[in-house]
Amino acid sequence: MDRFKSSRLALSVIFACFVATQAASQTINLASYFVELYTTGLSFPTTMCNIGPNEWLVCEKNTGQVERVLNGSMVGVALDLAVSNNSERGLLGITKHPNFASNGFIYLYYSRATVDGGTWLDNRVERFVYSGGSLTFNQTIIIFPSDASQANGANHDGGIIEFGPDGKLYVITGDLNRGRFANPRIEQNTSTVAVAGVGGIHRLNDDGTIPADNPFIGHADPRIQGLFAYGIRNSFGLTFDPFTNRLWITENGPNVYDEVNYCPMGFNSGWLKIMGPDSRNATYSENGNTAYDASQLTVLGGSAYRDPEFSWLAPIGVTAILFARGLKFEEGDRGNVFIGANNTGQIYYFNMNATRDGFILGGSLSDKVADTTTERNMNAIGTGWGVTTDMKIGADGYLYITHFTNGSVYRVRPVSEECGPDLLTLLRGNYVSGDLAATHFADDVRYVASKGIAFGTQDPPIQVQVEATAPVASTLELQFKFEGSVNSVNLQQTIELFNWTTNQFEVMDQRAATLTDSAVDIVEPTNPNRFIRASDRRMRAKISYRATGIVSSSIWQARIDRATFKVQVL
């Protein structure tokens, strides 16, 4: 699949697509979410990076400009690079260093030229320093040069870059049309000797050096030493599962089999001999219309072939991939996967399985392949998206999606928004363990306090207060969702919400505390706005514990696993 075809298709086709897409509304057919325009006026945006509260850097493919977007408005150009921009070349990838807050490092992947639209010189990743709204060159990280002995195709450039949970930089490159049987190469599984230099995932230290624990570090060629995975035709999607730290990518097929792959270290995706599941024996012009199997691939020590976790027989032009995470996603959606496309204008959604190494698929999709349009649409949850080039979760927890064809970024938000506390105060008792973040999810990570001194019979020996900011100043429904436990019997738990009209706490729930986590869901549909301070949208809750009989421990504890507010936005 070629995502950007300005050199192969007439520009009039591109702009016809632009106009048609402008008229189509963007939908998310997933219960409890809505779509809103965040910013527009961009020129073919590819990838974006959230660098602070309400501040983004967005890459434009053809101009080579990195646009600054602040609070939804374009406020200036942070950098203007000269890029070759025919076909899929251009300014393609952006990411920030894990320590961006202290070092200001931004990394960019682009197709270098002397002027915009000029002759392609190479693809490269470079590091810049962001300061005062501008990016300044710092260091070249890696270069994928022109090679007179190989193809340097204007398509299959890849370009997605991300830092992994291990602090390493992951760079995905397409094959640049290299490694065909007439000029075989290792990365395309057509040689055991010659090196293409592209067609895989490169894993690097933040300064571009090669980590000593890379899977092929023992190979003689540094281009192979830098690889984490190979056998990849082209890709516009790379992300890490926040629950397992595993790497996932999308991969674009020729006329058959776009893929979604889980990529362990040393992964061989099979290109150019295999697309789709090995058992399908896919044939296409680039593999000589020959059915190959995994035993015929180029095996590097430490490598392993793995079938895709999902494929589309008729390519959708698969693009971005992102795992849902954070409080702004409904509990049943957290950890599941959003995937973008070029050919269909749709967004796809997959539920992860229990081991998080594949998707929950049943019926006609149990073979992990969408063979028909009907099967393809089983996982489609969004329409009107044109070309989705990137998806990111912002600092505010919302899902942001780039719309390449109409030059916009959209934001997906929940209808009822969960708000984790941003302030926790231990009013009575003694701190034991945990922190503010421990109260955001029912994940068995807890904030723990022990019995303190009570100066009167009515004073609870443990009392915790939490505060959060509502997304709106007025709502039709407010909830307080609590989950917690204690380590002794005969303890009472009381939950109160603060009424900003009377300046008094109201008791909303009182019950016997339990030895294992139990959930309390307080729903307030009647005048819920009394619990939201209109001036700053603050909400406050208090959880108290006291003994009602003989306790089994003189220093008993309360353990809070979750204490969040949920506010209806629409």
Instruction: Please check the confidence at residue 277 and state whether its pLDDT lies above 90.
Output: yes
With beta carbons less than 8 A apart as the criterion, state whether 519 and 442 touch: yes
Alpha-carbon dihedral 232, 236, 242, 248, rounded to 10 degrees: -20
Residue pointed to by tokens 């109160």: 496
**Second CATH level (architecture) for the domain 11-414:** 6 Propeller (2.120)
Q: In this structure, which amino acid lies at residue 85?
A: N
Lowest mean pLDDT among 70-84, 378-392, 443-457: 443-457
- Across the range 34-54, mean pLDDT stands at 97
With beta carbons less than 8 A apart as the criterion, state whether 187 and 231 touch: yes
- Across the range 148-175, mean pLDDT stands at 98
- Across the range 251-270, mean pLDDT stands at 98
Residue 11: the pLDDT is 28
Instruction: Please check the confidence at residue 61 and state whether its pLDDT lies above 60.
Output: yes
- Across the range 251-273, mean pLDDT stands at 98
What does the alpha-carbon distance between residue 142 and residue 305 come to, in Å, rounded to a whole number? 26
- Across the range 410-426, mean pLDDT stands at 97
Q: Residue 272: is the preceding peptide bond cis (ω within 30°)?
A: yes
Dump pLDDT digits (tens) for 368-396.
999 999 999 999 999 999 999 999 999 99
User: pLDDT band at 454, cuts 50/70/90?
Assistant: confident
Residue 457: the pLDDT is 63
What does the alpha-carbon distance between residue 52 and residue 56 come to, in Å, rounded to a whole number? 7
Average per-residue pLDDT in the chain? Answer: 94
With beta carbons less than 8 A apart as the criterion, state whether 326 and 334 touch: yes
Instruction: Choose the CATH number for 417-568 among 1.10.8.350, 2.60.120.200, 3.40.50.970, 3.40.50.300.
Output: 2.60.120.200
pTM score of the predicted model: 0.94
Residue 24: the pLDDT is 61
Dump pLDDT digits (tens) for 520-554.
999 999 999 999 999 999 999 999 999 999 998 88
User: pLDDT band at 333, cuts 50/70/90?
Assistant: very high
- Across the range 187-199, mean pLDDT stands at 98
Instruction: Please check the confidence at residue 569 and state whether its pLDDT lies above 50.
Output: yes
With beta carbons less than 8 A apart as the criterion, state whether 537 and 390 touch: no
The structural domains of the chain, with segments of one domain joined by +, span 11-414, 417-568
Q: What proportion of the chain, given as a percentage, has pLDDT over 90? A: 93
What does the alpha-carbon distance between residue 349 and residue 375 come to, in Å, rounded to a whole number? 13
- Output DSSP code: residue 71: T
